[in-house]
Structures are given as C-alpha cells and as structure tokens.
C-alpha cells in the first residue's frame, strides 16, 4: 500500500513565524492557493482513504484534496500537531528572549524536551504512530494530512532512527511525502516534494 503524508498550507501564524501547535487557525489566502495546487498534483493518485488532523488548517487542506477523490475525510485527533503548551503563539524571537534554556536543550536532544503544560516529541510520535498502524492494517492507499512535527516523528519511526534526526528534516508547507509499505515495513519513496508549488 501507498501512504502520502501531506503538510497543510500556510496560515497567518506561519507567515508571522509563530509557534502554532494546537492553536486552531484556518489557512491564509495564500495557503488556500497552495492547497489547491497540492490537490491538483494529487488528483491522479489512486487514493482510497483520506485521514486528517481535525485542526482547521489541515482539514481545509484535506477538503481541497478530497474534491478529486471519492473518499470521505476521516478526522483523527491523534494527528494534531504537538501541543506546545506555554509556547503556543510565541514568536521565535520571544522564545529566544524568554526560554533560551529550553531552546538549547531542544538543540541538544529534542526528544527530551517536554513543552511546559504541553507534550514531548515522544508523546506526539506515540499517538501519531497509532494512526499509521491502523492505516497499514487496512492496506488501503491513504493520504494523511497533518503537521510539520507530526510528519517528522512519523518519518523517524518509519526509518527506525532516533529523534535527534528530526532537526535535519525539512517538511515544507503544502508538501507531500510518499511512503510505500510492503510486509509492514515502510520505505520513503519521495520526501518533501513541493514541485507543484513552483509557480505559487
């Protein structure tokens, strides 16, 4: 079976370089254009199922994709972005000014960081991977529409690597990553494809 991991389009918080997490904000006008281009690029894929984070920015992206497929969108809270707790909505500059020790720990060992009143990457990976396991059990070609850190933790699990590798990954807005599953093992076929956005 084939799995396509999709990151949602742009929001105003993305544009302002703010920590977004579970803050529920819809796509910007530019993000909607990105979602439309992404949907066009996926219309020829043999998709049987679409599973999305329920957060507006992801679900709106999933709705754009679903126009070209007969699949209903299944919303799953386990696909939400990491809960950044007290860091939600802060700019990167504000984080550096107020929480530099946490940022330094994130640079050294991101998996060891528990966001104040939020989650850790391990928490995120555990819940997101439950969704992937359910999908692979059905063996149906599926698009998963979710978030930056959610996708990164899933890819670490697929590759069997430590989450130190999460900092070296790049998952752009409105990107698509293709994974092929055979006998329960996933192989990344294409990572972070944004060729459909070249004119966006």
Q: pLDDT class for 78, splitting at 50, 70, 90?
A: very high
Q: How confident is the model at residue 149 (pLDDT cuts 50, 70, 90)?
A: very high
Catalytic (active site) residue 81: yes
Mind listing the pLDDT tens digit for each residue in 102-125? 889 988 899 999 999 999 999 999
CA 137 to chain centre: 21
pLDDT tens readout for residues 15-39:
999 999 999 999 999 999 999 999 9
Q: What is the mean pLDDT of residues 130-159?
A: 96
180 catalytically annotated: no
Q: For 88-104, what is the mean pLDDT?
A: 90
Residue 200 has pLDDT above 60, yes or no: no
User: pTM of the prediction?
Assistant: 0.95
**Strands 176-182 vs 2-7: parallel, antiparallel or unpaired:** antiparallel
Give yes or no for residue 180 having a pLDDT over 80.
Answer: yes
List the 142-146 sheet strands across, edge first.
73-75, 49-52, 142-146, 2-7, 176-182, 185-193
Q: Single out the catalytic residue among 10, 60, 81, 119.
A: 81
Q: Rounded to whole angstroms, how far apart are CA atoms 126 and 119?
A: 11
Domains and CATH numbers, the chain: 2-197 (3.40.50.1240)
Indicate if the pLDDT at residue 178 is higher than 90.
Answer: yes
What is the model's pLDDT at position 199?
66
Provide the 10 A C-beta neighbour count for residue 186.
Answer: 19
């Amino acid at each position: 079976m084939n799995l396509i991991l999709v990151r949602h389009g742009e929001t105003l918080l993305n544009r302002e370089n703010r920590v977004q997490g579970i803050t529920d904000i819809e796509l910007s006008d530019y993000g909607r254009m990105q979602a439309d281009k992404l949907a066009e690029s996926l219309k020829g894929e043999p998709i049987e199922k679409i599973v999305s984070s329920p957060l507006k920015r992801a679900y709106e992206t999933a709705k754009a994709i679903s126009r070209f497929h007969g699949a209903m969108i299944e919303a799953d809270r386990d696909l939400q972005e990491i809960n950044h707790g007290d860091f939600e909505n802060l700019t990167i500059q504000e984080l550096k000014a107020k929480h530099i020790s946490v940022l330094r720990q994130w640079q050294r060992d991101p998996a060891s960081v528990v966001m104040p009143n939020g989650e850790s990457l391990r928490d995120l990976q555990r819940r997101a991977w439950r969704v992937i396991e359910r999908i692979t059990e059905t063996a149906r070609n599926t698009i998963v529409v979710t978030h930056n850190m959610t996708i990164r933790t899933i890819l670490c699990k697929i590759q069997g690597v430590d989450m130190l590798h999460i900092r070296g990954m790049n998952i752009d807005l409105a990107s698509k990553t293709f994974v092929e599953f055979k006998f329960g093992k996933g192989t990344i076929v294409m990572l972070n494809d944004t060729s459909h956005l070249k004119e966006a």
